Amino acid sequence: MDLTLPQIWLIVGLVMLLAELVSVLLVFVFFAAGALLTSLLTSIGLLPSTESQILAFSAISLVSLLVLRKHARNLLERRSAAEYSEFTGETAMVIRDIPGNGEGRIYYRGAEWKAISENHHNIPAGSKVVIKKTEGIVLIVEES
């Protein structure tokens, strides 16, 4: 079974999409776009020679990478930066002192959590705290 050039570009584009799913670089998707668009342009006859196809692939990939990568990254960061607020307003017990400028431990919902003081005050073990917000797996708390 012989593959045509548009089919080869289509396969390259699909492989690049799979590579993007595996990586976290946000780079392969632009090469995938270049390959898929080159496949389309080749199949409709606009890119008859291999040299023109390679040039189109390179140009499309690089231009899309330079123009769209920053916007795509910002869009993805905005979506992932949404505040997780399930714990906000809940009460927990301090089980290891929380220093003013450091981490302590609280007991909340049957588990230990890292915690820091919102207003940088020392909070001794045994105190009750209110969870104000989260930063990753660290809970920001205030003495109640």
Q: DSSP code of 106?
A: E
pLDDT for 48: 94
Query: Domain residue spans in the chain?
Result: 5-80, 91-143
- Give the global pTM: 0.56
pLDDT for 72: 84
Find where tokens 């960061």 sit. 77
Helix (H, G, I), strand (E, B) or coil at 40: helix
Q: How far apart are CA 53 and CA 35, in angstroms?
A: 9
Specify the amino acid at residue 138: V
Helix (H, G, I), strand (E, B) or coil at 9: helix
From first to last of its 144 residues, what are the pLDDT tens digits of the chain? 799 999 999 999 999 999 999 987 888 999 999 999 999 999 999 999 999 999 999 999 999 999 998 888 888 777 655 556 678 899 999 999 999 888 999 999 899 999 999 999 999 999 999 999 888 889 999 998
- Cα atoms in the Cβ-side hemisphere of radius 13 Å centred on 79: 6
- Tell me which fold the domain 91-143 belongs to: OB fold (Dihydrolipoamide Acetyltransferase, E2P) (2.40.50)
pLDDT for 53: 96
